[in-house]
Chain A
Amino acid sequence: MKVSLAIRRSQGGLEARREQFSVTVRAGATLLDALDQIKDARDDSLAYRAACGSGGCGACGVRVDGRSVLACETPVAPLVDGGHVPVVAPLGNFPVIRDLVVDMEPFWAKHRAIDPAPRVAAGSGAEAGAPDEVACVLCGVCVSECVSLAHDPDFLAPAALAIARRHVADERESERVRAGRLANVAGEHGAGACVACGLCNERCPKGVEPLWSIAELRTLGPGGGSGGAGPLARVRGLLGRGDRSSGSKLLTALRAPDDDDDE
């Protein structure tokens, strides 16, 4: 099968340019296979990352026609359907090192910032169950798509927040550790900066749903409905108009067991 790709290339601070390559690939080839073919047969200077080639390591994230994907898991045939020449570009929201290779350091810095390992005492056994977020391969696809990050480069962004939620849900951790984690993701650039556009869930190649992880962090965090100081004040703030009073009654009932200062 003949495949043409228009690849966005750049290096050394030079302006990016688009270069078109045509190669022949086997039926069922992935986008990564096509890139390999270009590199091996056409131009060995094409730079991209790949490590496992089977969807597990998260190294080969790129954008195809604006959509972020793992190249090794993306069949190339549908991309070139009807003679279309897809544009292959580096992940968005990252500085570019060369061609399709981006500088992941801002991403890793955020990953480090959320303390990405359980803080549990020795002998506390295994983590209960398998939280959805353990499937995250830290590929950066969600971060590439993130709307909030495009407008706030310091936003912790969906991947780090999803991992944070995993640890918050780890019942082996103490309340104090959990409160620290929640405070850590509750700042200006934390979970509250999410615009809830849902692109992270939609594009995640591993089925992780950072949007819902973020909702849970916000809910449990100091500004959220279920934790921190002053939930009652917020409930009172909800006291609605007309028919909505039953909603407020419901909220008050929900809070009652937790609020010492309830009337």
Chain B
Amino acid sequence: MQQPAIQVRNLRKSFRKRNGFRKQSELWAIDDVSFSVAQGETYGLLGPNGSGKSSLIRVLSTLLIADSGYVEMLGFTLPEQADEVRRIIGRVSVDAAFYKKLSARENLLYTALLYGQNARQAERRVMEILEQLGMENAKFSTPLEEMSRGMQQKISIARALMINPPLLLLDEPTTGLDPKSRRDVQLFLEDLQRREGTTILLTTHDMAEAERLCARIGFLAHGKLVAEGTAAQLMQRAHTATLDDAFIKLTGEAIVEEELSADYAECAD
């Protein structure tokens, strides 16, 4: 039997938050979370802001060290084998983090060099990816700050894929995008998964996106994985007609940002 691409067991991560001069409180961003993702599978983590999605992605991206638990990615464990894990993952975060004054080409070439790649070969691959994402070549030399958020996010995806990673960690990649850009990204991810068999871990609070892209979905609320399965299984379990309703029923809360404690969201996300 093939080993899972991602194995997470009993993962816990808390943050200390200072309340006033001497008092400190502890917030559990990830509270005893276990799940696994098969190779070539697209797994979705659904939850509102502050549910621990981004913290989880940060742990898997080697940017956050968990308090306890077991994480294995394609046979490499974290945090012990962080160097090896960095070579097999690509990450897209909700904010397209780039040197905004530099052009797309300069940003991507910098990343290629940072990963020790041949710049010319990397540039060819980037051009292919950007073309598939519907981006014009002419925009390649434009500073990032002059581009729309949709364009920036496409370049962020190109950056993650440039190193051809077998594992892709997508942290709300379509949040804030216009409908066309959102559809372009979703189509691209579907195609990528079909063509290359890339394993994708996707966090989102868009139910339709999760239903469309993910073979299985996990519901996260207050750092806990409260339910997981296919969209149909989750709806069946909750006796609801939509994934939205299933989420509300199984987690006891809706994905409405305003309802969330800003403090908690700040720490956990």
Are chains A and B native binding partners rather than an unrelated pairing?
A: no
Binding site for A on B (CB under 8 A): none
